[in-house]
Amino acid sequence: MPDAAVETRSSEATSGGATQQVDVAVVGAGFAGLYALHRLRKAGLSVVVLDEAEDVGGTWYWNRYPGARCDIQTVDYGYAFDPALESAWQWSEKYATQPEILRYLGFVADRYDLRRDIRFRTRVKAAAWDEAAQRWQLATDNGPRVSCRYYVMATGCLSAPKPPEIDGVRDFKGEVYFTGRWPHHEVNLTGKRVAVIGTGSSGIQAIPIIAEQAAHLTVFQRTANFALPAHNGPAPADRIALLEGDRAGYREQARWSLAGVPWPQQTTVSWQLSDAERRERFEKAWAAGDLIYTLSQLWADLGNDVDGNTLVADLIREKIRSIVTDPKTAATLAPFDHPFGAKRPCLDTNYYATYNRSNVTLVNLREEPIKAITASGIATDRRTIDLDVIVFATGFDAMTGAVTAVHPITGRGGKEISAVWANGPQTYLGLTVAGFPNLFLITGPGSPSVLSNMAVSIEQHVDWVVDRLVALREAGFTTIEATETAQAGWSRHLADCSMLTLHRLANTWYTGANVPGKPWGVMPYAGGVGPYRAICSEVVSRGMLGFRLSAPDAPEQCNDGEIVRLQPDVRLVLNMLADMKLPAIESLGAEGARAFLTMVNAGRPAGRPVGEIVDGTLTGTNGPLPYRLYRPATQGPHPIVVYFHGGGWVLGDEQSDDPFCRDMCRRSGMIIVSVGYRHAPEHRFPTAAEDGYAATRWIAEHAAELGGTPGPVLVAGWSAGGNIAAVTCQLARDRGGPRVGGQLLVCPVTDSTFDRPSYSENAEGYFLTRALMYWFWDIYCSPADRTDPRAAPLRGKLEGLPPAFVLTCEFDPLRDEGVAYAEALRAAGVPVEQLEARGHFHASFTMVDVVVTGVSGRARMAEALRRFAGLPQDTGQLRPDRNPLPPEASAAAE
Ligand code: N01
């Protein structure tokens, strides 16, 4: 029975009467369980590992289908904790086969004498937290029960096969196999009519080999997947040389990398490269045969921007068409419904070429779905295919299934983990779960796990857990448990991280979309291996933040809180700035600060192309002012937005917010005119305010010459530029024009007092400091003038102003005065849309293509501008990154 093949993996034996008492019980004797056993033992803890298999290997024990091999290069896919182990083992290939990896794990088990503490053929039937004993009690199907202080799930991420979900499986009279539970005996497919259902990594590896054996192979494909050629062979000499040149350095670099393989971070973006340069990079990657290289080294926007991604997806589709001779089959094999990398891409050997064989047929389930499996084969709604063998390569109930499907786990108050996770997994760090004391998940949901080189992530998790258990013992604690606050904060951080990548745009097991009824959510941590490692260390250095530590005879210790409140990319930017130990801007003097800003701007990603950029001069009150005009690529005329840059009335010019102006131009489809207003200390208050007003008037009067539509102009500005935009609206109302149709205020300065909470909460550490704001104010405006509404628009009359969009950032000294302005505008009857951006800092939304999590906020700003101008809402044609975000994702930045 196929279902039985999935569900019944070991014989049912009865538990003995005795109970095995240990410090730690570990479930799973794969990569994670073996290393956990080794480290726990070395730490002096008594351990038992339980596994229903007959030997070590975990996923590599079960997944022995034809063609199974690793798709991370074997130089990177192994233990790195012991250099002597590394020298004692030689991989024979670039990508090792399943039998070789299994031999390796057996070798490791022997070398560290691990088998003596492993109970094979033993399934845990239930695990329950015993409140009285403060221990976990485990029932097993073979041998004694286990009582342990700590319980470690080393069950992997892909260990619970998914049921086939196709009617009639039980009726089939032929042979049935699951790639994830391939029999240990020889399976002879020679001369047989075989079907493979599923074209994920397992199917794509198995199909070419099965095609060579079978009389006929029919592949049932529901979703075409991206596959790259492995070009297997000996390990590449350059990687080996790199590793052997500095083994410790190589491994350390992997630990701090994004994916757990030591490739540098790519900074060149796709639009900086010509078509020929992109093709050259792609051909190099195609020839290299390396998934992580291809995902990370082509161009920086491949993984987070739909347009950057489409460029590579198109090149892969072109390759498929060049390999597969039948155009209809090639078209069916070309993935079309998800970005490259959003669903796990595959590494193949002769996969696409296999469809040129005369004994292989591809059935496109999108065109002819399976009606049922019958006694003799598979019936689609167009035909019946007679078969001797059906191979299900239909995947796994990933990540959560690897925990909940193993056995009921009952924590405090009788709560079961599957009930707690009914709406999606809740963890702290992907390692622990509130309400489940002393339970650890190795590479659990919420950790980098499957978005990383598992070998690296497993070692990091095991090391963290064992180090914590040792520290607990030394401190006299016996129980550790995540708090609800910490866990909820981690869920928010996970959702924020999911905005960094395109995984949310695919139906994939990463999000649970492959299992009917499973709650949707990007389950692995998408913020990268290195940043994650730093966070785990920070939890410890901040006094076990988010954990409750206790012991029967000791006072409880609980340092509650959220470990990451910043958006993940904001955190990276701020950490990078902190590491650079830059001087305080206000210590540089105005000239020094301007030179500093020029240097910083030179290092940022180039802005994206727009239709046209024109530099010109307009007439201000006291002479000419420079401007830079950004025109969309679409047919004009276009509404005009007059833009004022940030820089505290002291720094910057009409070019200094260039990427933001380009972005607004592309997203809104409007002309942006960035004004070079005059700066303090050369020109103090009210010069900037008056220049802003005069420039707006001039631009409105010259709209037609500039290619603008007749009618009101809009104003926008960031920071001090937001101040000028707000003031301009008031002056335009009071001085009889020009007509302003709307105002976009991004982190605006609206008042001249410093007593609101955001000034003290965010006084330091978030780039714009309180001291810097003091300095800006002192240079720009004397204290006597600061109550003038042209300096502090919050103090002006607000009735009759144009509609506003006010954006404020949580970690910004200016947050509360921005919020106050929005509230005051609303109270004065002005229509206001407000975005209080959680986890963002003052520069988040102008750091285009650096702070990727700012995308949804900028999309909303552009929509507001279009609304102010009376344009229809963007249908997706205008935006460069037309991400059809699920509602959860669009809300994440707020
Ligand atoms: O599973 P999958 P997998 N009717 O979920 C299809 C790792 N791995 O075992 O995409 C018809 O990727 C399903 O279609 P769709 C690796 O991380 C690593 O192949 O849901 N079709 C899909 O095509 C990998 O990602 C290696 O529309 C059905 C396929 O079955 C992960 O394991 C090797 C269906 C399942 O693909 C899982 O890979 C192998 C149905 N009812 C695996 N249900 C290495 O090399 C599902 N499908 C290390």
Half-sphere exposure of 331 (CA within 13 A, CB side): 5
Give me the pLDDT at residue 891, please: 37
Report the alpha-carbon distance of residue 197 to residue 183 in Å, rounded.
17
Summarize pLDDT for 495-514 with one digit per residue, the tens: 999 999 999 999 999 999 99
Summarize pLDDT for 523-551 with one digit per residue, the tens: 999 999 999 999 999 999 999 999 999 99
Residue with tokens 């001291």: 771
Report the alpha-carbon distance of residue 60 to residue 106 in Å, rounded.
11
Tell whether the model's pLDDT for residue 737 goes beyond 90.
yes
| Widest distance between CA atoms in the chain | 95
Provide, rounded to the nearest whole percent, the portion of the chain with pLDDT above 90.
Answer: 93
Where are the alpha helices (H) located in 554-676, listed in sequence order?
568-580, 589-602, 658-668
CA of 393 to the centre of ligand 1 (A): 6
Tell whether the model's pLDDT for residue 2 goes beyond 60.
no
CA of 153 to the centre of ligand 1 (A): 23
Which mutation among 222, 340, 362 tests ligand 1's pocket best, with the greatest number of atoms within 8 A of CB?
222
Nearest CA to ligand 1 atom 8: 201
Report the alpha-carbon distance of residue 229 to residue 248 in Å, rounded.
30
Report the alpha-carbon distance of residue 568 to residue 562 in Å, rounded.
13
Provide, rounded to the nearest whole percent, the portion of the chain with pLDDT above 70.
Answer: 96
Residue 635 carries which side chain, given as an amino acid letter? Q
CA of 395 to the centre of ligand 1 (A): 4
Tell whether the model's pLDDT for residue 27 goes beyond 80.
yes
Are 72 and 239 within 8 A, CB to CB?
no
β-bridge mates for residue 151, sequence order: 25, 439
Report the alpha-carbon distance of residue 751 to residue 453 in Å, rounded.
50
Please identify, by atom number, the ligand 1 atom nearest to the C-alpha of residue 344. 25
Are 758 and 814 within 8 A, CB to CB?
yes
Mean pLDDT of the 476-488 span: 98
Give me the pLDDT at residue 838, please: 98
Report the alpha-carbon distance of residue 649 to residue 779 in Å, rounded.
8
Ligand 1 surroundings by CB, under 6 angstroms: 69-71, 158, 164-166, 179, 197-203, 205, 220, 222-223, 344, 365, 393-396, 450, 509, 514
Nearest CA to ligand 1 atom 46: 394
Where are the alpha helices (H) located in 259-414, listed in sequence order?
275-288, 291-297, 306-323, 327-333, 351-354, 401-404
Burial of 185 by CB count in 10 Å (0-12 exposed, 13-18 middle, 19+ buried)?
Answer: exposed
Report the alpha-carbon distance of residue 91 to residue 95 in Å, rounded.
9
| Residue 313: band (very low, low, confident or very high) from pLDDT cuts 50, 70, 90 | very high
Nearest CA to ligand 1 atom 3: 395
Mean pLDDT of the 259-283 span: 95
Which mutation among 64, 210, 344, 523 tests ligand 1's pocket best, with the greatest number of atoms within 8 A of CB?
344
Nearest CA to ligand 1 atom 5: 395
Report the alpha-carbon distance of residue 643 to residue 651 in Å, rounded.
15
CA of 731 to the centre of ligand 1 (A): 62
CA of 169 to the centre of ligand 1 (A): 18
Summarize pLDDT for 100-140 with one digit per residue, the tens: 999 999 999 999 999 999 999 999 999 999 999 999 999 99
Report the alpha-carbon distance of residue 248 to residue 252 in Å, rounded.
6
| Residue 878: band (very low, low, confident or very high) from pLDDT cuts 50, 70, 90 | very low
Tell whether the model's pLDDT for residue 255 goes beyond 50.
yes
Mean pLDDT of the 202-224 span: 98
408-417 — which CB contacts under 8 Å span 24+ positions? 408/126, 408/127, 409/127, 409/128, 409/153, 409/436, 409/439, 410/126, 410/127, 410/128, 410/129, 411/129, 411/435, 411/436, 411/437, 411/439, 412/129, 412/131, 412/436, 412/437
Please identify, by atom number, the ligand 1 atom nearest to the C-alpha of residue 199. 23
Give me the pLDDT at residue 605, please: 82
CA of 344 to the centre of ligand 1 (A): 9
**Picking from 274-288, 801-815, 879-893, which range would have the lowest pLDDT averaged per residue?**
879-893
CA angle 1-509-892, nearest 5°?
A: 150
Summarize pLDDT for 349-382 with one digit per residue, the tens: 999 999 999 999 999 999 999 999 999 999 999 9
Tell whether the model's pLDDT for residue 3 goes beyond 80.
no
| Residue 793: band (very low, low, confident or very high) from pLDDT cuts 50, 70, 90 | very high
Nearest CA to ligand 1 atom 11: 222
Nearest CA to ligand 1 atom 12: 200
Which mutation among 65, 158, 221 tests ligand 1's pocket best, with the greatest number of atoms within 8 A of CB?
158
CA of 175 to the centre of ligand 1 (A): 20
Which mutation among 199, 201, 205 tests ligand 1's pocket best, with the greatest number of atoms within 8 A of CB?
201
Mean pLDDT of the 850-854 span: 95
CA of 162 to the centre of ligand 1 (A): 10
Tell whether the model's pLDDT for residue 13 goes beyond 80.
no
CA of 128 to the centre of ligand 1 (A): 32
Summarize pLDDT for 618-670 with one digit per residue, the tens: 999 889 999 999 999 999 999 999 999 999 999 999 999 999 999 999 999 99
Give me the pLDDT at residue 894, please: 34
Q: Please provide the average confidence, as pLDDT, over all residues in the chain.
A: 94
Tell whether the model's pLDDT for residue 718 goes beyond 80.
yes
Sign of CA dihedral 344, 350, 351, 353: positive
Which mutation among 93, 98, 364, 394 tests ligand 1's pocket best, with the greatest number of atoms within 8 A of CB?
394
β-bridge mates for residue 364, sequence order: 221
- CA end-to-end distance (rounded Å), the chain: 50
Strand locations in 591-633 (E)? 612-620, 623-631
Half-sphere exposure of 345 (CA within 13 A, CB side): 27
- Provide DSSP, 762-815: TSSSSSS-HHHHHHHHHHH--GGGGGSTTT-GGGS--TTPPPEEEEEEEE-TTH
Give me the pLDDT at residue 837, please: 98
Are 474 and 531 within 8 A, CB to CB?
no
Residue 154 carries which side chain, given as an amino acid letter? A
Tell whether the model's pLDDT for residue 890 goes beyond 80.
no
Mean pLDDT of the 784-788 span: 98
Summarize pLDDT for 559-594 with one digit per residue, the tens: 999 999 999 999 999 999 999 999 999 999 999 999
Tell whether the model's pLDDT for residue 483 goes beyond 70.
yes
CA of 554 to the centre of ligand 1 (A): 49
CA of 185 to the centre of ligand 1 (A): 23
Mean pLDDT of the 222-233 span: 97
Tell whether the model's pLDDT for residue 314 goes beyond 70.
yes
Tell whether the model's pLDDT for residue 452 goes beyond 60.
yes
| Residue 875: band (very low, low, confident or very high) from pLDDT cuts 50, 70, 90 | low
267 contact partners, CB below 8 Å, separation of at least 6: 300, 605
Give me the pLDDT at residue 876, please: 54
pTM for the complete prediction?
0.93
Please identify, by atom number, the ligand 1 atom nearest to the C-alpha of residue 222. 27
State which H helix or E strand residue 489 sits in. helix 484-498
Q: What is the radius of gyration, based on Cα positions, of the chain?
A: 31
CA of 208 to the centre of ligand 1 (A): 16
Sign of CA dihedral 754, 758, 764, 767: negative
280 contact partners, CB below 8 Å, separation of at least 6: none
* Core vs surface per residue 80-101: b (16+ CB within 10 A) or e: beeeebbeeeebebbbbbbebb
